[in-house]
Amino acid sequence: MILRLLIAAIITLAGTSGLPSEYIDSESVDLSHLQRDQDDELPTRVYFEETGQYLEDEMLEFWLEYGGVNVFGYPISAPSTSDGMILQYFERTVLEYDPDNSSEVQVQLRHLGAQAAGPSMFRSSAFEPGETTSDGAFEETGHAVGEHFQRYWERHGGIPIFGFPISAEITANGKTIQYFERAVLQYNPDKPRDWRISQPLLGLETAQAKNVDTSRQQRDNDVAVYSDGLFGQGGASSDEPVVYLTFDDGPSGTYTPEVLDLLYDYDAYGTFFVLGQAAEYYPDLIQRMVDDGHTVANHTWDHPQLAGKSFAEVEWQLKETTRAVGSAMAPCMRPPYGSMDSNTRTWSESLGYEVILWDVDPRDWERPGAGVIADRILGSVFPGAVVLLHDGGSERSQSVEALEIVLEELSGQGYRFEPMCR
Selected binder of Zn ion within 163, 270, 336, 419 (CB under 5 A): 336
Contact window for Zn ion (CB under 5 A) among 17-25, 163-171, 242-250, 308-316: 242-250
**292 in contact with Zn ion (CB under 5 A):** no
Contact window for Zn ion (CB under 5 A) among 25-33, 190-198, 243-251, 366-374: 243-251
Name the amino acid, one letter, at 367. Answer: R
Residue 70 to residue 86: CA distance in whole angstroms: 22
**Residues 6 or more apart in contact with residue 283 via CB below 8 angstroms:** none
Helix axes 397-412, 370-380, angle to 10 degrees: 40
Q: Nearest distance from residue 301's CB to Zn ion, in Å?
A: 12
Contact window for Zn ion (CB under 5 A) among 29-37, 75-83, 249-257, 341-349: 249-257
Three-class secondary structure of residue 288 per DSSP: helix
Nearest residue (CB) to Zn ion, 96 versus 249? 249
Nearest residue (CB) to Zn ion, 270 versus 336? 336
Q: Which residues are catalytic?
A: 248, 390
Q: Nearest distance from residue 398's CB to Zn ion, in Å?
A: 16
72-77 long-range Cβ contacts below 8 angstroms, 24+ apart: 72/199, 72/203, 73/199, 73/201, 73/203, 73/204, 74/48, 74/50, 75/48, 75/51, 76/51, 76/203, 76/204, 76/207, 76/212, 76/214, 77/53, 77/207, 77/212, 77/213, 77/214
Number of residues in contact with Zn ion, rule: CB under 5 A? 3
Distances, alpha carbon 177 to alpha carbons 8, 117, 173, 183, 300, in Å: 29, 11, 11, 11, 41
Q: Nearest distance from residue 326's CB to Zn ion, in Å?
A: 21
Q: Nearest distance from residue 337's CB to Zn ion, in Å?
A: 7
Residue 199 to residue 393: CA distance in whole angstroms: 40
Nearest residue (CB) to Zn ion, 143 versus 396? 396
Q: Nearest distance from residue 248's CB to Zn ion, in Å?
A: 4
Distances, alpha carbon 406 to alpha carbons 109, 294, 360, 387, in Å: 33, 18, 13, 11
Nearest residue (CB) to Zn ion, 231 versus 244? 244
Name the amino acid, one letter, at 260. Answer: L
E strand or H helix at 120? helix 112-121
Residue 181 to residue 18: CA distance in whole angstroms: 9
Selected binder of Zn ion within 181, 248, 364, 391 (CB under 5 A): 248
Q: Residue with the closest Cβ to Zn ion?
A: 248
Interstrand relation of 354-355 and 45-48 (parallel, antiparallel or unpaired): unpaired
**Residues 6 or more apart in contact with residue 107 via CB below 8 angstroms:** 58, 59, 62, 95, 96, 97
DSSP 46-87: EEETTTTEEEEHHHHHHHHHTTHHHHH--B-S--EEETTEEE
Three-class secondary structure of residue 254 per DSSP: coil
Nearest residue (CB) to Zn ion, 249 versus 418? 249
Selected binder of Zn ion within 91, 96, 169, 249 (CB under 5 A): 249
Q: Which residues bind Zn ion (CB under 5 A)?
A: 248-249, 336
